[in-house]
Amino acid sequence: MNRYNKHTIPIIGPYYARLSKHIYCIYNYNTDIRLELISSFVSVADHLSFSTAAKELNVTPSNLSRQVRELESSLGIQLLARTTRRLALTELGQQFYGRCRTGLSEIDRAEQIVTKLGDIPQGLLHVSAPVTFGQAYIAPVLAGYLEKYPKVDIELNLNDGHVDFFADRVDVAFRIGEFTNLQKGVEPIAPIERILVASPEYINNYGMPETPSDLGYHLCLIHNVVSPNNTWTFYKAGNKEVIKVDGKVYANNFIPLRETAIGGKGIALLATITVIEELKNRKLIQVLRNWQVAPANVFATYPPFDYIPPKSSTFVEYIRDNFLQLAIEESM
């Protein structure tokens, strides 16, 4: 089939196309000169044969002849001189053919260049990520990614707020939360292990909870993005408990919740990676040790386009591939 079949050139006019030094063709306001017709004409002119061009384009000679006549009618000039024995270009047809052949060759070259470049990760990549996740899982691997893909430049914005892909010019955003129904443009990365912690001071003052339901009597420090409904989910021996907790402090970042917990002001459900040192030096202790806590999920999200450029897809893949190794190293 003709590779330009679906493309058109809208003519907003009057538009003057110069066919020779002294002759112009006027396209009126409502005229559409389709690339299909031009491409068909060029193929016929290449071979000076309707039958040969028709085989090349996989159409019938009669259909090809109709397209060329339609083009001639649109232009208001005769491009081909037809006899029973031969086909030849008119003087204006020769002029038009030369310009069109050059134009179509440039279109082919442009497509080849764009297609080739489109396969290579390159350009400025705008990345947004939560502060804690960005510091723990993105910052350590940036150098490795840039070594692997040297044509990519990265602008990393760490924030825990809402992302506006268009206003903020974001190519890919990492977010932590609950995505029960994965929509187009949302890609799971990995679960982040979480742990329930409190300071020894808090436990001395308020006691150690023995079951998840006991948390209803305690001061809780809540991540309002990961737990937007003030619910914490626990598992034990196949049983699941979802507990509604009351917040003493709400934040969209694990760090202020951790610091408040260290200060003895409540029980916090935090990403394990953020409290490793605090658990080692006993600034914090684990609460409900015999219960598993539902992990927080990390997702990569893209702008609502059908096409995801290689710079975005390769970066997400690189973060995912390195996520597990970084988690293992941090826990050692």
- Predicted confidence at residue 181, as pLDDT, reads 52
Count other Cβ atoms within 10 Å, centred on residue 140. Answer: 14
- Predicted confidence at residue 210, as pLDDT, reads 93
- Predicted confidence at residue 88, as pLDDT, reads 92
Which pTM value belongs to this model?
0.60
Do residues 193 and 279 make contact, with C-beta atoms less than 8 angstroms apart?
no
Q: Which fold has domain 8-118?
A: Arc Repressor Mutant, subunit A (1.10.10)
What letter does residue 150 receive in the DSSP assignment? T
Count other Cβ atoms within 10 Å, centred on residue 149. Answer: 19
Distance between CA 180 and CA 137 in Å, rounded? 23
- List all residues 6 or more positions away from 231 whose beta carbon is below 8 Å from its beta carbon: 242, 243, 244, 245
The closest of 232, 235, 257 to 244, measured between CA atoms, is 232
Distance between CA 122 and CA 97 in Å, rounded? 37
Query: Which two structure tokens, joined as six digits, stand for 185?
Result: 């443009």
- Predicted confidence at residue 306, as pLDDT, reads 77
- Predicted confidence at residue 235, as pLDDT, reads 92
Do residues 145 and 318 make contact, with C-beta atoms less than 8 angstroms apart?
yes
Q: Given this chain, do its domains 8-118 and 123-190+298-331 carry the same CATH topology?
A: no
Judged on CB neighbours under 10 Å (0-12, 13-18, 19+), 206 is middle
Judged on CB neighbours under 10 Å (0-12, 13-18, 19+), 76 is exposed
Do residues 221 and 284 make contact, with C-beta atoms less than 8 angstroms apart?
no
Domain boundaries, the chain: 8-118, 123-190+298-331, 194-294
Do residues 2 and 64 make contact, with C-beta atoms less than 8 angstroms apart?
no
- Predicted confidence at residue 259, as pLDDT, reads 96
215-227 b/e with 16+ CB inside 10 Å = b?
beebbbbbbbbbb
Tokens 């990520």 correspond to 129
- Predicted confidence at residue 32, as pLDDT, reads 45
Do residues 154 and 125 make contact, with C-beta atoms less than 8 angstroms apart?
yes
194-294 to CATH, choices 1.10.10.60, 3.40.190.290, 3.40.50.720, 3.40.710.10 = 3.40.190.290
- Can you give the pLDDT of all 332 residues of the chain as single tens digits? 444 433 333 333 333 344 433 333 434 433 445 788 898 999 999 899 999 999 988 999 999 999 999 999 988 999 999 887 789 999 999 999 988 888 888 887 777 777 666 678 989 999 999 888 898 889 999 999 999 999 999 999 998 888 888 878 899 999 887 655 556 678 888 888 899 999 999 999 999 999 999 998 999 999 988 887 888 999 998 889 999 998 889 998 889 999 999 999 999 999 888 898 999 999 999 999 999 988 888 899 998 887 888 999 999 999 998 886 665 555 55
Q: Is the dihedral of CA 320, 326, 327, 328 positive or negative?
A: positive
Where are the extended beta strands (E) located within the chain? Answer: 8-10, 15-18, 24-27, 32-34, 80-82, 87-89, 123-129, 152-158, 172-177, 186-192, 194-198, 220-223, 231-236, 239-244, 247-251, 267-271, 285-286, 292-293, 296-301
CATH 3.40.190.10 fits 123-190+298-331, yes or no: yes
CA 204 to chain centre: 49
Query: Which two structure tokens, joined as six digits, stand for 97?
Result: 């053919």
- Predicted confidence at residue 218, as pLDDT, reads 94
Q: ω into residue 14 within 30 of 0, thus cis?
A: yes
Distance between CA 98 and CA 75 in Å, rounded? 16
